[in-house]
Amino acid sequence: MQFTSTHVAALIASAAIALTANAEAAALDQFKSFVAGTKSARGEFTQQQLSKSKGGKAAPVSSGSFVFARPGKFIWTYQKPYEQLLQADGETLYIYDKDLNQVTTRKLGNALGSSPAAILFGSNDLEKNFTLSEAGERDGAEWLTAVPKAKDTAFEQIGIGLKGGVPVAMELKDQFGQVSLLKFTNFQRNPALGAQHFRFEVPKGADVVSQ
């Protein structure tokens, strides 16, 4: 059989489709493996709103560190450009603003359900709250999209980029079309954490406000 240019084009197209399908499957496989096999983790992050501010200036970059243990226990620390702490012990969420020396508390309840935090900190039953679909390869990572099934969530969709079996980035698109990008580095899976690691202690002199 003699191959014509049409045959070659068809073969190339078929190969491209097959490669894309394999890449997409890799994203879901990595994500499901991460969720099933990661009880706890720690690492560092940067966070930036992608849309530029007035005057064309890029939005400032926030940075900090995180540690979590499933389900619902985490310490998310903003270090720059200002200090703020979000901490949950599985029952209560504490938000500490260092400049105001104020702690805001609220019941964790089902608040994690359809929020971006559920991807990292929630239970393993993510498909109960999200519709997962493939998003292909971009910037050296395999991506998938998580759309909250609840209608009252602040986020329209969440993009998750994975490489080497762990999340390296998340894109958060809210109901107003604003997109924030989180990038993760120094991601450590299943570090040893003590039983009291997530116990919150109110800083000396801080005001406590319950919501």
**Closest CA relative to residue 89, chosen from 198, 14, 6:** 198
Q: Does the domain spanning 5-210 belong to CATH 2.60.120.260?
A: no
Tokens (6 digits) for 170: 């998340």
Sequence spans of domains, the chain: 5-210
d(CA 176, CA 28): 27
- CA gyration radius, the chain: 20
Residues constituting the chain: 211
Tokens (6 digits) for 70: 């499933």
**Closest CA relative to residue 26, chosen from 160, 163, 130:** 163
- Alpha helix (H) residue ranges in 122-200: none
d(CA 41, CA 73): 11
Amino acid (one-letter) located at 70? R
Q: What is the pLDDT of residue 43?
A: 94
Is the separation of the CB atoms in 159 and 18 below 8 Å?
Answer: no
Other C-beta atoms closer than 10 Å to the C-beta of 53 total 10
d(CA 70, CA 199): 15
User: Across the chain, where does the E strand assignment appear?
Assistant: 40-49, 62-69, 73-80, 84-89, 92-97, 102-107, 130-138, 141-148, 155-163, 166-174, 179-189, 207-210
CA angle 163, 169, 170 (to 5 degrees): 130
d(CA 163, CA 95): 31
Q: Is 6 helix (H, G, I), strand (E, B) or coil?
A: helix
Q: What is the pLDDT along the chain (211 residues), one digit of tens a residue?
A: 443 333 333 323 333 333 333 333 478 889 889 888 999 999 999 999 886 555 556 778 999 999 999 888 999 999 998 899 999 998 999 999 999 999 999 888 755 655 677 777 776 677 777 888 999 999 899 999 988 887 777 788 889 999 999 999 999 898 888 899 999 999 999 999 987 899 999 999 999 999 8
Q: What is the pLDDT of residue 150?
A: 79
Is the separation of the CB atoms in 179 and 50 below 8 Å?
Answer: yes
